[in-house]
Amino acid sequence: MTLTTHAIAGAALASLTPAQPVLGFCLGFASHYALDAIPHWDYPLYSSIDPDRGGALVLDRALFIDLFDIGCDLLLGIALSFFFFGGSGALLAIIAGIAGGIAPDFLQFIYTRLPTRPIKAMQDLHNRTHSPHRLRQEGRSVLGIASQVLIIAMFVVAANILAAH
């Protein structure tokens, strides 16, 4: 799933535990695996930054395209998270939730370069919980993008309803 969706889901959960950023991080972290279990859409990666491809990083056009896409995805996720939840006053918790939500994908990147035991365990968990359905490759990109917008909307609405109680 996109980093945008993971970031907002993490921020939404963390906004419910405003005084406990560590718990917010853990909730965001756990939500990553739950969300990845849903058949979803991802934008294509062209360089060895793709964990499925791996290998040495080469400073080429493909890497710059990937870094641009990932950077935009990440910035959009952070910006929308602050837009939706920044007003709650739980800034540290929100940041922790975003970090937890996106951390598993960065661990994948580290795994392909530094496959130490704990990181390998996290990678195994990621692989095991990840849906085998990749909607872009299955020609269902519209459904894949629409469903992520819906998931984001559900997290934002649910967090707002829960926060109001």
- Footprint of Zn ion (CB under 5 A): 36, 105
CB closer to Zn ion, 90 vs 102: 102
CB of 87 to Zn ion, least distance (A): 28
| 9 vs 93, beta carbon nearer Zn ion | 9
By C-beta, is 37 or 67 nearer to Zn ion?
37
Q: SS3 letters for the chain?
A: CCHHHHHHHHHHHHCCCCCCHHHHHHHHHHHHHHHHCCCECCCCCCCCCCCCCCCCCCCCHHHHHHHHHHHHHHHHHHHHHHHHHHHHCCHHHHHHHHHHHHHHHHHHHHHHHCCCHHHHHHHHHHHHHCCCCECCCCCCHHHHHHHHHHHHHHHHHHHHHHHCC
Q: How far is the CB of 74 from Zn ion (least distance, A)?
A: 13
Q: Shortest approach of Zn ion to residue 36 CB, angstroms?
A: 4
The smaller minimum CB distance to Zn ion, of residues 2 and 17, is found at 2
Q: Rounded to the nearest whole angstrom, what is the least distance from the CB of residue 86 to Zn ion in the complex?
A: 24
| Helix 91-113 with 117-129: angle, nearest 10 deg | 100
Minimum separation from the CB atom of position 10 to Zn ion (A): 12
Q: Which residue number, 64 or 106, has a Cβ lying nearer to Zn ion?
A: 106
